[in-house]
Amino acid sequence: MPPRSARIGGILTACALLATIPHQFGAGPGFAMAADLLLVGALAMFSLTARASRLAFVAVGLALVAWAAATRPDWAQAVLTALTRGGFIIALFTALSALRSAAVGSQDILDCGRFLARQPPGRRYLALTVGGHLFGLILLYGSISLLGGLAAESTARETNQELRRHRLRRMLVAIQRGFASTLCWSPMALSMAVTMSVVQGASWPAAVGLCLVSSLLMIGIGWGLDALFKPQLSAPAPTRAAETESWLRRLRPLLFLLAIVVGGVFLLHLTTGVAVTGAVMTVVPLVAVAWTLILPPMRGGRAATLAARMGQFATRDLAGYSGEIILLFMAGFIGSLGSWLLVPIMQAQGPDLAALPPLLILAALVWVIPLTGQIGMNPILAVSLLVPLLPSPADVGVHPTAMVIAITGGWAISGNTSPFTASVLLVGKLGGVEARHAGTQWNGLYALSTGAALTLWVLLAATLL
């Protein structure tokens, strides 16, 4: 059980989501202010038991507030804007975490994951990549925990140590790459939500088609590299029986859940005009509630089961994510306030970025985001801090969608390679290697290949738009 302070922080975080949703639908600024206050309180509670690495982000944020207050007369409004940016990120994270908590309790979802993990070698990589992509749409990096855990479970019975090591590595990178490819396009991914907020003139409906091409490139390149560079075993692998169960029957629960979530988000977006991210924050918790109600109830009936699981979500699940919540909130906060402080300095003393060729800016974005990830800069922080320093797409004559493709592509590569991201940390832990080894050794060639392909793709898209 998490400490009491973390449990209080989890309750405040859940309440902040409830305050953020009306604000997304155009309610007064009072709701945003309430969400900001609730999250500040949550961060204070989480900080009481947080690790020093997380507290360092809090210290940087406080230092930026002091800098802003000492140098700019309009600092208070900038701080409120930064709080709202961080709160928006946490509200989306909380909503998706609610669905993840509900889904992982379903036996049908677990059976779906086991079905993918026991595919024969000829189609295992593609099955797990596509499965990691589909699971990642609703579970975020929880898909790596779920499928990766099932992969480790399936390989644990292998007596050949060499074969078990190679099989587990290939299964884990397939799952990770499938999850990371969702970052290119998914309306439920933090990558898309943050990118939409910092790229002037960008919209998800306008960008999704071309961003899906980025995702397909990442999936296809990973599949090709896995086929080309199969490990050489000292002895032939034993023959495995072909899987005879129906794909449609096993994947039906996951596909049904995705259809409900995506259909509900689009329906709400089209009927109300609310932003796609606002629709996600609204629909996803409702689906989580409905999913909980259809699961077998505990003692006391479905209403008591729902109340108990909602309490567990706030006081156990969200409290358990305290480190992630601090990191995500502060990344958005530091990026927003830091860029606000740096923009006038760059304009007065820095280089004129508007004079750079626009295609060079787009190509650089694909590479800068994963490179900064190697030195500990979370993609949320990198994008929130660096993109506002760039000239707007209109100022350099490129379509906003081209910049979205570049940013989300770089973000996805960082999700495969940065040893400071949750996805790489999880893969390293499940594979029994250091996170940096999992990021650079297991995915180094893949990152270079996808980076080159995405660079060419964003340059092509920029010339066509």
Q: For residues 324 and 320, what is the distance between their CA atoms, to the nearest angstrom?
A: 9
Residue 143 pLDDT: 84
Q: For residues 404 and 410, what is the distance between their CA atoms, to the nearest angstrom?
A: 10
Tell me if 117 is assigned to some domain: yes
Tell me if 237 is assigned to some domain: no
Residue 236 pLDDT: 61
3-state secondary structure 37-97: HHHHHHHHHHHCCCCHHHHHHHHHHHHHHHHHHHHCCCHHHHHHHHHHHHHHHHHHHHHHH
Residue 233 pLDDT: 63
103-109 — which CB contacts under 8 Å span 24+ positions?
103/138, 103/139, 103/257, 103/288, 103/291, 104/139, 104/142, 104/146, 105/292, 105/295, 106/253, 106/291, 106/295, 108/253, 109/146, 109/253, 109/254, 109/257
Residue 4 pLDDT: 92
Q: For residues 204 and 399, what is the distance between their CA atoms, to the nearest angstrom?
A: 13
Instruction: Provide the CA 449 distance to its chain's centre, in angstroms.
Output: 22
Assigned token pair, 187: 């309306």
Q: Which domain holds residue 53?
A: 4-230+247-464
Tell me if 432 is assigned to some domain: yes
Q: How many domains does the chain have?
A: 1
Q: Which residues of the chain have pLDDT under 70?
A: 232-244
Tell me if 169 is assigned to some domain: yes
148-152-156 Cα angle (round to 5): 170
Residue 110 pLDDT: 82
Tell me if 226 is assigned to some domain: yes
Tell me if 171 is assigned to some domain: yes
Residue 225 pLDDT: 94
- The answer to whether the predicted template modeling score (pTM) of the entire model surpasses 0.85 is yes
Residue 447 pLDDT: 97
Tell me if 236 is assigned to some domain: no
Tell me if 363 is assigned to some domain: yes
